Amino acid sequence: MAKLHFSLVAPERELFAGEVDSVDAPGAEGDFGVMAGHEPFMTTLRAGVVTVKSGSSVTVYEIQGGFADVTQTSFTLLAEHAKAATV
């Protein structure tokens, strides 16, 4: 399966950058999931949980508002505040 390049960037630092299978994020108009080959779109985000799935590993981040930029091969998430959350 094609991989998606996901990067999670907070103002202070880059929290995550790498190839993943899918990402779930809380969009302003509803949660959405992104996999490789997604239609390009941009949206603002509300506070919530970002779930990053890669193979069998799942990483979860808490974000407080932000912005998502999705292209066919990559997903850039600019978060206001972000931190790794425990599942």
Other Cβ atoms less than 10 A from the Cβ of 70: the count is 21
- Binding segment toward another protein, per CB under 8 A, in 18-26, 39-47, 51-59: 39-47
Q: How far is the CB of 49 from another protein (least distance, A)?
A: 19
Cα–Cα dist 83/37, whole Å: 27
Least distance in angstroms from the C-beta of 78 to another protein: 6
Contacts of 57 (CB under 8 A, 6+ apart): none
Binding site for another protein (CB under 8 A): 7, 9-14, 27-29, 39-44, 67, 69, 71-72, 76, 78, 80-81
